[in-house]
Amino acid sequence: MESDQNFALNKWIDKNYKSLNRELKYPLVPNVQRNNKIFYQFNGINENLHLEIFQDSAKVKYRLKGNKYETLVDLDISPSIDKNGMHFCSGCKKRKKFKNRNEFIKDHFIDSLKAFQNKSLKKNYYISIVESKTLGLFLPLILKKSEMFSLLASGNLPEKKTSIDGEKRRPNQLSKMKFQLLRAEKVVI
């Protein structure tokens, strides 16, 4: 058994993805392993949407062309240990504590992934690739059908409401730029 300190997210998922899948709306399917990174796809979801796993982070990425990917969502964890040996995420405002790193990774990652799936992987949602007309900046976004049509009509990204913490979801400078929709694909196949 590995020491608790060396137990990483990528190793935990590799060993436990089948039990993890029982908790997910859209199960993970192993896809590719490249340069110490593991890629999974979501069963029943657009084939260009991937979950890339690192040692202590995961990213939901969208494949633009070939091996070019853009990040949609960071599911990073910031593991820390308090003076009593309890594990927690130093990046979270609510610091739920765990007896060991295995429990911490399992709970923290599963909660983040389930929240992403429940919020973004829906039948009337589209993966939309938008480009800033001034900066040549490409952004992959998951938008509702109505938000996508609003973007087409106005050239503006849809406003994102503030979170419970009062934190803005999208930086203000993006809301002032004009964008064009380059491509849109259904999220759920």
Q: What are phi and psi of 119, to 5 degrees?
A: -85, -35
Q: Are 130 and 179 in contact (CB under 8 A)?
A: yes
Among the candidates 95, 120, 145, a domain finishes at: 120
* Per-residue model confidence as pLDDT tens digits over 86-124: 999 888 888 889 998 888 888 888 888 999 999 999 999
Among the candidates 67, 101, 120, a domain finishes at: 120
What separation in angstroms does the CA of 133 have from each of 56, 127, 148, 174? Answer: 35, 19, 17, 11
Q: Where are the alpha helices (DSSP H) in 41-87?
A: none
Same-domain check for residues 135 and 105: no
The pLDDT of 68-72, averaged and rounded, is: 88
With a CB cutoff of 8 Å and minimum separation 6, the contacts of 86 are 97, 98, 99
* Per-residue model confidence as pLDDT tens digits over 23-58: 999 999 988 776 666 789 999 999 999 999 888 789
Same-domain check for residues 88 and 52: yes
pLDDT band at 16 (very low <50, low <70, confident <90, very high): confident
Domain membership of residue 95 as a residue range: 4-120
With a CB cutoff of 8 Å and minimum separation 6, the contacts of 95 are 88, 89
Q: Are 74 and 59 in contact (CB under 8 A)?
A: yes
Query: Residue 2's pLDDT is what?
Result: 41
pTM score: 0.82
Closest CA to 88 of 107, 101, 80: 80
Among the candidates 77, 104, 120, a domain finishes at: 120
Give the total number of structural domains in the chain: 2
Query: Residue 28's pLDDT is what?
Result: 93
Same-domain check for residues 88 and 25: yes
CA end-to-end span of the chain: 40
pLDDT band at 172 (very low <50, low <70, confident <90, very high): low
* Per-residue model confidence as pLDDT tens digits over 129-171: 999 878 878 889 999 999 999 999 999 888 765 555 555 455 5
Same-domain check for residues 22 and 82: yes
Same-domain check for residues 115 and 132: no
